[in-house]
Amino acid sequence: MLISIATVQLFILVFTRVTVILVQIPIFGGSMVNNWVKVGLGVSISLLIYPVEQLLAYSNELPIIAYMFAIFQEILIGFLAGFAASLLFNMIQIAATIMELSSGFSAGSIFNPTIGAPGSAFNQFFVLFSMMYFLVINAHHTFLQGLWYSFIVLPIGSSLELLSPGSLLLLSGKIITSGVQIALPVMGALLLTDLTMGLLARVSPQINVFFLGLPVKVWVGVVGLFMAIIVLTPVIRDIFGKVDSDMIQILGL
């Protein structure tokens, strides 16, 4: 059976959007994931989506100029949808950075290959815990559902008239706010520790509060994180469970 040029073009467009979305998610497209695994995963998902997309998209062969524009359009759509999903992990990174700055762990920052940014052991633990929790609650299924749904609501060749910067700004603001809220329990415990150290310095000036406070804040940060995880896991679960709707929302749909 001969494969038409239009069929190959359509599959490449599907593969382009899928791959651009996947490479932005640390679990699927992080620097620790082999490039061949990324390509294989992109091809596999594209083969599953292609039969549905074949019914929704055009079936005529495109000239080279129009086809290059279609590829650019799929890269843009994939970037926006993937960026919306990656913002959830950026939220975790924001929360972990705030907590490590308050607890003093930031002094021991090293490069974290999982997210491609420097971070302390405290930061890496919280990020890795969140990624494992992402898999445990099957949020990756929700992410793949959002990826598939993007082809339903915005098929190959659809116009981009619905895209608006307002959705991007709204989602970014919500993610930053959520990151600060996640860090609040540990920040509150560390603030009380600073107040206690300040009162101790007033009561007993001969005590070197600076050298005493650093290890105390480290222990408070660690204990506070483990205690806060019990409260934070339902919050993180709720945020991860909305990854599919965030991917669609940023497309203006």
Residue 67 is inside which H or E element, if any?
helix 64-103
Number of domains in the chain: 1
pLDDT value, residue 164? 62
pLDDT value, residue 130? 81
Torsion over CA: 21, 26, 30, 36 (sign): negative
The 3-state secondary structure of 152-201 reads HHCCCCCCCCCCCHHHHHHHHHHHHHHHHHHHHHHHHHHHHHHHHHHHHH
**What are the backbone dihedrals phi and psi of residue 50, each rounded to the nearest 5 degrees, phi first?**
-55, -45
Residue type, 131: M
Would the pLDDT of 41 be above 80?
A: yes
pLDDT value, residue 113? 59
pLDDT value, residue 78? 85
What is d(CA 8, CA 11) in angstroms, rounded to the nearest whole number? 5
- The candidate with the shortest Cα–Cα distance to 248, out of 99, 64, 83, 46, is 83
**Tens digit of pLDDT for each residue in 66-107?**
888 888 888 888 888 888 888 888 888 778 777 777 666 665
What is d(CA 81, CA 243) in angstroms, rounded to the nearest whole number? 10
pLDDT value, residue 161? 62
Instruction: Kindly report the number of other CB atoms within 10 A of residue 101's CB atom.
Output: 17
Average pLDDT of the chain is 77
pLDDT value, residue 106? 62
- The candidate with the shortest Cα–Cα distance to 97, out of 132, 127, 70, 75, is 127
Tokens linked to 200 = 């101790």
- Contact of 189 with 220, CB cutoff 8 Å: yes
pLDDT value, residue 119? 62
pLDDT value, residue 144? 86
Tokens linked to 122 = 């405290």
- Angle ∠(136,141,146) on CA atoms, nearest 5: 140
Interval 203-212 mean pLDDT: 71
What is d(CA 207, CA 188) in angstroms, rounded to the nearest whole number? 24
- The candidate with the shortest Cα–Cα distance to 184, out of 232, 114, 130, is 232
Write out the residue range of the structural domain in which residue 210 sits. Answer: 5-249
Would the pLDDT of 60 be above 60?
A: yes
Instruction: Kindly report the number of other CB atoms within 10 A of residue 194's CB atom.
Output: 15
**Tens digit of pLDDT for each residue in 164-201?**
666 777 777 777 787 777 878 778 887 888 788 777 77
